[in-house]
Structure 1
Amino acid sequence: MTRHPTSTNARRPANHGPKAAARNRAALIAAAREIYAEHGLDAPLSAIARRAGVGQGVLYRHFPDRAAVASAVLEENVLQIEQAATAEDATLAGVLGVLTWHLTESAAFISLLHTDGAGRSGTREYAMALSGRVERALRGHVPDGHPLGGEGDLMLAVAMVSGAVNGPTRDERERRALAAWRLLGVGVGPVRPFGG
């Protein structure tokens, strides 16, 4: 006969509940950004789950499909740019540094900036809303007479720089992005995530 411990001192593993869920979600978004940068938006979701150190079931609990994962990455990208823009010491160069970091890290973010109306209408509206938020965050820091001050020039410049962001390594993508800004005559602050 098998005996099971009946002592009240026997402990179950701790259930971290919402804390674990929040950590898992953050790990999945970070992993998705890395995987998308390395392999593009068509990378397998299983690779994202592996990189985050969770099972695929955990991924699907947070994100029911591929679009939901990409949307979460995009939302975080845009939120960081908005936070950089509303920081007490915000400058155009500083906000462009944060935006450039996201360009070098996220293929999904680059795709957002190149939305041309193709695809499903719901996806297009979502992308346009996020792109509008990026433009508003940047626009508030463009001084009068700045080369990017003309109607439509700001986001055209962002799209042009994002088009230059390619290369096999993050360092190469950053080098190309900074070269593109320089060729446009625009100064960029440190390339890093907001708060980094």
Structure 2
Amino acid sequence: MKLPKVVEDLTVSFERLPGIGRRTAQRLAFYLLRVPQRDLDFFGKSLVDLKRFTKLCRVCHNLTGSEECSVCEDLTRDRTQICVVESFQDVIAIEKSGSYRGLYHVLHGSISPLNNVGPEELYIDTLLERISGGKIAEIILATNTSLEGEATALYIADRISDRAEVAAEFKNIKVNRIGRGLPTGVELEYADDETLHQALATRRAV
């Protein structure tokens, strides 16, 4: 059976999403045919506006709708701590756990030579710039426990150590790695609240 072009186009669009196969994509398209038009209009507008009205925080590169994200704007946060993560989803997971009240820095990935992602593709230099501004006492490296995440954490720790030899603002900074609780290879966004709480509570010096 040949489907109408608009249904086929929507199915193909859904297939491009991660984890969505042909059958699931088709099921989603058929479901939307039964949705009231006003809900479809809202859904369509949300898709159109998604990238138009979102941006990266100018300080930490978290997701925001303004110049700074809600975390960076919150004056009650501990501004001497920066938790370094790979993605927006990691920020959401840690915030949900309620175990951290400092600031964040989102790298937007991890070092992965196999995928042609080097340090220069990540927001590492801007992290060092933030530290250069002074007032930072601790960096928590909360990259994933994958090989790429571990390599990224070690790279950042080495960069900070190198700077400590020539720049006073880097000398007394504690550089810690999230501790036990997270199995090797597990991404932060999929960890439960208690596991994240344990990982942050048992962080160790790098």
The TM-score, its normalising length taken from structure 1, stands at: 0.34
The TM-score, its normalising length taken from structure 2, stands at: 0.33
Which of the pair has the greater relative contact order for Cα pairs under 8 Å at 6+ separation? 1
Bigger proportion of residues as helix:
1
